[in-house]
Structure 1
Amino acid sequence: MLKPLHKSDGNSLNSVFTQVKNSSFAFFIDMANGTEYLKTVLKNFVTKKFEFQEFLKQCYQIGNKSLGLISITGIIIGLVLTIQSRPPLVQFGAVAMLPGMVAVSIIREMGPVITALICAGKIGSSMGAELGSMRVTEQIDAMEVSNTHPINFLVIPRVAAATVMIPLLTLYADAIGIFGSWLGINIKDTMSLRYFINQAFLSVEFLDIIPAVIKSFFFGAVIGLVGCYKGYNAGRGTESVGVAANSAVVTASLLVIIVDLIAVQITDLI
């Protein structure tokens, strides 16, 4: 038997509808602002002078901040993949396939995605917090008043640096991951590094490397654009710096997964 709708239930439903409506409006407004921001970045990149010194500085900072964590993560990924994959291959007498299988897995998927997610956490949050604090302390407003073009000086070098450095970090993570796989094999068996590399790259083809590198460029562009956008458009209060950094990490990580899904679908058609 249906119960009559109480006044409190009606108020809760209205509250839910109001929240959904406000969230929808906020989403579409954010999409419009993001589109305008992307158009401004592309326009300034073509028409304004490129800040090469700032670009080199950001490249160094991105690589320096991420290298240690990516090294540890790459070795662990290679070890875990090898240790987990070995028992099933032993049952079928196919241990010789282990180097090639792990190398293909790392190069095609694990290396680019894990590297991008790590950089989304380290670099995206750093960009969001740095530009957010500059917005709160009105440094960006001062640059706009003095006609310094903050988009050209603050955003474009960071986006370009992330776009260039993340593919390089991905290649480094692939190499470290393959080395970690060799360490994992030598826990149970004995195999020289030279023989392991030969066996690994017998299974790696040209189409395994190129799509992974290409999508790494898109990962870097997404992380740079999102991190700078969240920081550049942060609110005026001090708490908005933390909100910008957190939002940059979450949004960039989600977009990395979406870009990876699209890239896998496109690669599968080739």
Structure 2
Amino acid sequence: MALLDKINNPFFQEVGDLARFTGRFFREVVKPKQEWEEFINQCYWIGYKTFSLVGITAFIMGLVLTIQTRPTLLEFGAESFIPSMVSLALVREIAPVITALICAGKIGSGIGAELGSMRVTEQIDAMEVSGTNPFKYLVVTRVLASTVMVPILSSLAIAISIYGGYLGVNLKGDVNWSLYWYQAYDALIYGDFIPSMVKTIFFGFAIGIVGTYKGYNSQKGTEGVGRSATTAVIVASLLVFILDLVAVQIADVLGLT
């Protein structure tokens, strides 16, 4: 009886429903025909419309990181290591994770609210009646767009944040432009970039699948729409941290750290 109660636990039911939803996504994504026009439209909204927020955050992130670390390194006479240290921290961990969290907040909540509104106003039901496949049009396109655009946004965030680090170094010093970039990139190897880019693909997929799942299965009217948007952000953010932990462990086992 205790085992039955655990199986009927809402948490495990939610995990099972999400797993079935993900399985349906993989089945639908290989079936013709693909909604390329909607996919490109979602790439525009997910990527281009989020870039300004990501860019500003990345710039401030690089600037603040440099300013905060400079006094400590200055005490040990290691000020010359600031460019390499900042670039390693940003490329390996900070920029990809912060970018994913921003996308979880903006994209996850937006998708959850949009699909939730369509569900409670019966627009999705109307699409099913008219012969359109709402899952492929609404879910597959958004998940694919999120999976593609989050790594691109992360790459741009890395470049912008390193530039912010350059300005941070020169606030209380005078470092040549070419010298800064040489030191920043000389400390990096492909083993730093590859795990960073690979995990952002999974970040983007997790954000997209959670946002669409919560919105597509929204219930209880307008209250359910707000709940879908909120829980999409919470679950997606949590998954970002879990996936990051797994990625770090895998990279460590493969000797990429």
- Corresponding residue of 2:242: 258
How far 1:46 moved relative to its partner? 1.0
Q: Does 1:210 align with 2:189?
A: no
Q: Is the 8 A contact 2:211 2:232 kept in 1?
A: yes
- Corresponding residue of 1:6: none
- Corresponding residue of 1:154: 138
* 102-111 or 89-98: bigger deviation: 89-98
Structure 2: how far apart are the matches of 1:81 and 1:32?
Answer: 41
How far 1:30 moved relative to its partner? 1.1
Structure 2: how far apart are the matches of 1:63 and 1:38?
Answer: 22
How far 1:83 moved relative to its partner? 0.9
- Corresponding residue of 2:94: 110
Partner of 1:47, secondary structure, is coil
Q: 1:185 aligns with which of 155, 162, 169?
A: 169
Partner of 1:235, secondary structure, is coil
2:159 maps to amino acid: A
2:110 maps to amino acid: S
1:31-180 matches, cutoff 5 A: 31-180=15-164
Partner of 1:187, secondary structure, is coil
Q: Is the 8 A contact 1:135 1:236 kept in 2?
A: no
1:265 maps to amino acid: Q
1:29 maps to amino acid: Q
Structure 2: how far apart are the matches of 1:148 and 1:32?
Answer: 26
Give the ranges of 4+ consecutive aligned residues of structure 1 lying more than 2 Å apart after TM superposition.
21-24
How far 1:122 moved relative to its partner? 0.3
How far 1:117 moved relative to its partner? 0.1
2:230 maps to amino acid: N
Q: Is the 8 A contact 2:218 2:228 kept in 1?
A: yes
- CA deviations 1:160-216 (Å, max 9, x no partner) are 000000000000000110011001000110112221111101101110001100000
Partner of 1:191, secondary structure, is coil
What count of residue pairs does the alignment treat as equivalent? 250
Please give the root-mean-square deviation of Cα atoms over the aligned residues, in Å: 1.3
Structure 1: how far apart are the matches of 2:8 and 2:207?
Answer: 24
Q: Is the 8 A contact 2:7 2:13 kept in 1?
A: no
Q: Is the 8 A contact 1:48 1:152 kept in 2?
A: no
How far 1:84 moved relative to its partner? 1.2
TM-score, normalised with respect to structure 1: 0.90
Q: Does 1:219 align with 2:199?
A: no
Structure 1: how far apart are the matches of 2:198 and 2:6?
Answer: 38
Partner of 2:229, secondary structure, is helix
Identity among equivalent pairs (%): 51
1:267 maps to amino acid: A
- CA deviations 1:2-25 (Å, max 9, x no partner) are xxxxxxxxxxxxxxxxxxx69962
Q: Is the 8 A contact 2:112 2:216 kept in 1?
A: yes
- CA deviations 1:55-92 (Å, max 9, x no partner) are 10000001232111111111111111111111121111
Partner of 1:234, secondary structure, is coil
Q: Does 1:27 align with 2:35?
A: no
Structure 2: how far apart are the matches of 1:247 and 1:154?
Answer: 19
* 127-136 or 183-192: bigger deviation: 183-192
Segments of 5+ residues of structure 1 without an aligned counterpart are 1-20
1:50 maps to amino acid: Q
Structure 2: how far apart are the matches of 1:216 and 1:64?
Answer: 17
Structure 1: how far apart are the matches of 2:63 and 2:122?
Answer: 47
